Amino acid sequence: MLKRERLDLIMKMVTEQNFIAVSDLAKTMNVSEMTIRRDLDELSKAGKVIRLHGGVQALSLQMKTEQNFHEKREIHIAEKKEIAAIAASLVEDNETIYVGPGTTLEFMVARLDQENLRIVTNSLPVFETARKNPHNYQLILVGGSYRRISGTFYGALANDELDSMNYDKAFVGVNGISDAELLTADIEEGQTQSIGLNNAQKKVVVADMYKFNHRDFYQFYSLYDIDELVTNKQASPDVLEYYRQYTSIRTGIDS
């Protein structure tokens, strides 16, 4: 039985039964539990499954349909889910986090599994996704003027409100990264996000490989001031090597 077959079978069994124990999987496939654990790590990091003590759980139906919905209109879903899984793992119990707008960050809040989080966001889609997370986290939506295209709140009101709080960690997405510049399409949204970053102890940027060496209109932050850049493991080693001069980069493979 090939590894690929095994992964497929695991996915099939998990989606059918919702919960499965590592021991069951090992028995039905005739491999050691260690192997299953490694498989599950891989599936979990790819954002396809939720790892539990003793076994796995399928993504909730809500999350799945939500993801299918996104899949229809969004690109690079696999990469984004992978990045979302890593970003979600950076959060710790009892933290207050700012989460900016973006599909990747929607996937991230869907996957959060820590205890007692307080989530602050100015993105309506992120807020809606967080609301469906089985953990009933405390949610704070930063209000203000509403931009229909992106579903975000911006402007003086939003900025003041965001600025009145402090965060353990901030997670933001970008449209492009070019040298030390983080770029986005909209001035006001960029400014709002930079406030979220400023008020956070630890500043995290999520960006799939396609964002590197890609420019956009407005430069809203410097990569030098970012603590952690999360991207997917398919990013070219040369690119990663180059950007490591600016900040610490985290991908799927290494720690």
Backbone phi, then psi, for 73, in 5-degree steps? -115, -5
Measure the CA–CA gap between 95 and 247, rounded to whole angstroms.
Answer: 23
Out of DNA, its own copies, none, what residue 218 binds, judged by CB under 5 to 8 A for its kind, is none
Q: 3-class SS at 170?
A: strand
Do the beta carbons of residue 40 and residue 77 sit within 8 Å?
no
Whole-angstrom Cα distance, residue 141 to residue 163? 13
242 binds, among its own copies, DNA, none (CB under 5 to 8 A by kind): none
Burial of 254 (0-12, 13-18, 19+ CB in 10 A): exposed
Stretch 39-78 residues interacting with its own copies (CB under 8 A): 46-48, 52-55, 57
Quick note: the x/- pattern for DNA over 166-205, rule CB under 7 A, is ----------------------------------------
199 touching its own copies, by CB under 8 A: no
Q: Is 166 helix (H, G, I), strand (E, B) or coil?
A: coil
d(CA 116, CA 137) in angstroms, rounded, equals 6
Q: Does 52 bind DNA (CB under 7 A)?
A: yes
Q: Which does 38 bind (CB under 5 to 8 A by kind): DNA, its own copies, none?
A: DNA
The item of DNA, its own copies, none sharing an interface with residue 82, based on CB under 5 to 8 Å by kind, is none
Find which of DNA, its own copies, none residue 146 binds, CB within 5 to 8 Å per kind.
its own copies
Q: Does 135 bind DNA (CB under 7 A)?
A: no
Of residues 43, 50, 55, 86, which one binds DNA by CB under 7 A?
Answer: 55
Q: Which is nearer to its own copies, 141 or 200 (CB)?
A: 141
CA-based diameter of the chain, in Å?
Answer: 61
Q: Which two tokens stand for residue 202?
A: 């630890």
Q: Name the nearest CA neighbour of 103 among 78, 70, 72, 133.
A: 70
Q: Which is nearer to its own copies, 5 or 71 (CB)?
A: 5
The one segment of 16-24, 93-101, 191-199, 235-243 that binds its own copies by CB under 8 A: 16-24
**Comparing C-alpha atoms, which of 8, 81, 74 is closest to residue 234?**
81
d(CA 250, CA 39): 20
Binding site for DNA (CB under 7 A): 3, 6, 21-23, 30-35, 37-39, 41, 52-55
Binding site for its own copies (CB under 8 A): 1-5, 18-19, 21, 46-48, 52-55, 57, 115-116, 122, 127, 131, 135-136, 138-146, 148, 153, 157-158, 160-161, 164
